[in-house]
Amino acid sequence: MTEKKIMLVCAAGMSTSMLVARMQKAAEKDGIAVNIFATSASDADNKLAEEKPDVLMLGPQVRYLESQFKKNLDIPVSVINMQDYGLMNGEKVLRASLKTIDEGKGTAS
């Protein structure tokens, strides 16, 4: 199984770093090979070019960027569920990310 790259974006990149740690822990527990990292909205374009992630997950506070990213990227883009984000539920956000990657493969234009 190839490692999936999941990129999280939030306003400053701070709150998502805790979520990254929880997602990583959930992935390890389930034996899922992933590379998860977080960045701020202002640095997102640089990170996208550098890292080439499989999916871009936006924190609820930057959901307004969703249409812009979807227009400019050829990878799936999704907004993290507000409740899962607020509770820092790494397991659920990991599952949502992987599901978004799978769905994105079927709908690539």
Looking at 9, 10, 38, 48, which residue is catalytic? 10
- 3-state helix, strand, coil split of the chain in percent (to 5) is 60, 20, 25
Residue 9 and residue 58 in contact, taking contact as beta carbons nearer than 8 Å:
yes
The verdict on whether 89 is a catalytic residue reads: no
**Paired strand residues for 8:** 38, 57
Interior angle at CA 109, CA 37 and CA 79, nearest 5:
35
Please enumerate in sequence order all residues whose Cβ is within 8 A of that of 43, keeping only pairs 6 or more positions apart, or say none: 13
Active site positions, annotated: 10
